Amino acid sequence: MITRRRVILAGIALAIPAVGRAERPLASEDALSDQGLYLPELARLRETVRTSPEQRQILAQFLAIVGDETGALREWMAQRPANAPLAPPDTTDYGPYTAEPALETIIAAARGRRLVILNEAHHASRCRAFAARVLTRLRAEGFDLLAAEAFTNDPTTRFAERMADGAPVTTDLAYYPRDPVYAELIRQARADGYRLACYEMTPVQSPPDDVDGPTRIAVREAAEAANLAALLKDNPDARMVVYCGHGHLAEKAIGPNTVMATRLKAATGIDPLTIDQSLGLPSPAGVFESPTVTAVLSHFKPVEPIIVRAPDGGSLAFRTFRDAVDLTVFHPRLGDTADGRPAWLDGDGRQRTVFALRRPAPAGALLQAVPLAEALAAPNVVPADQYMARPGAKEAVFFLRPGRYEIRMETDVGRQVLGRSSTGSGPA
């Protein structure tokens, strides 16, 4: 049940939607999809994991969406079997190795290419922030078509058409773009002039429900490759960036799976530039970290993402992707800001923006900054930034691009609009 009330805050009359408990509350997915309410779905996933620990992967992805980076990484690594042996320390002598700025190396390697494939770890929003940087630079090099696994390829959703029409980025469009960092990637890509395209397996291409897991994986990989090949054929002058998750970018079979990029290369004859950033991620204290990540970051101590070159000139790769990707990105160990937010948020056009709270934030509150123009157009707009407040916090600290924003707070009893805030040289 949605009610509306009016208050006076900072001299402005605001209509505040207060989504309260109804006699028949919306299901958590409907509350998120239709109203942009995140906490019901978070509560459902946490309850699910108590009885079905194998669902930790989904919880990890959703914790990233609500801005809990440490929680996301903890849940992701908690999937490892308790008796799984730990990898031995990486004792490589990195003295003969060299480190290069990842962004510059990627742009140089992409020159003359028609196809770039970049992956992400679905539980790590910083991958999406780096992808946005790559996209902006590639656009200046002439790339103009962005196809992403996360863009729902269902005709009823009309993702590409709605984005081309300038529609708000809303929670009913797709799953991963419910993450504010992903939503900002989409907004930035549109502003840069990219056309957005879908390539995920369509409902028509989906196998019957009774097929086994390996067959389902094979059907999906083949469908994704076919859809991308069709995009390249239908757009002969386009230069395309494909943004996918985890192992889909491998240029050779991974275990028993012949994945999307391998199939696409065989079908089109196009050699893609493939870039893995999913494995070179540091972990917070107390969470398992790849020994290679530990060794590389300890030796080079980067403050920006890097590519590591072996003495023979090849890009250092993880065993999973050895001889299967062109470049591997290692993300720096940056920690948190003084406000407790991930330090990688501070930069790339985002500015620290503080909003004073009239009352201390209650435990479990989700603080949100939503682009004002979109907030006025739809109730389920994906914020530009959001995170779980520390109990008793007296201010909200966001990292935002220049513009005007509606500041919101979601709790277990609903959502309130707290006011508006402007940052940088955005529109008045």
Q: What is the DSSP string of 128-163?
A: HHHHHHHHHHHHHTT--EEEETTS---TTT-HHHHH
Spatial CA neighbour of 349 closest among 137, 118, 144: 137
The residue extents of the domains of the chain are: 2-79+337-423, 117-330
Backbone angles phi, psi at 84, to 5 degrees: -70, 130
Sign of CA dihedral 159, 162, 168, 171: negative
Q: What is the DSSP string of 43-109?
A: HHHHHHHHH-GGGHHHHHHHHHHTT-HHHHHHHHHTTS-TTPPPPPP-----TT-EEEEHHHHHHHH
User: How high is the pLDDT of residue 26?
Assistant: 65
Return the amino acid letter for 199.
Y
117-330: which CATH number, 3.40.50, 1.10.3470, 3.30.70, 1.20.1070?
3.40.50
pLDDT digits (tens, 9 = 90+) for 51-71: 999 899 999 999 999 999 999
User: How high is the pLDDT of residue 288?
Assistant: 85
Spatial CA neighbour of 379 closest among 63, 62, 33, 27: 33
List, in order, residues 6 or more apart from 336 with CB less than 8 Å away.
Answer: 342, 343
Contact 5, 16 (CB under 8 A): yes
Burial class (CB in 10 A: 0-12, 13-18, 19+), 85: exposed
**Total Cβ atoms within 10 A of residue 246:** 17
Residue with tokens 């504010």: 180
User: Can you say how many angstroms the Cα of residue 103 is from the centroid of all Cα atoms in its chain?
Assistant: 18
User: How high is the pLDDT of residue 25?
Assistant: 53
User: How high is the pLDDT of residue 225?
Assistant: 98
Max distance between CA atoms of the chain, in angstroms, equals 67
Q: Which positions of the chain have pLDDT values less than 50? A: 1-24, 426-428
Measured distance CA(127)–CA(156) in Å, rounded:
29
| pTM as predicted | 0.92
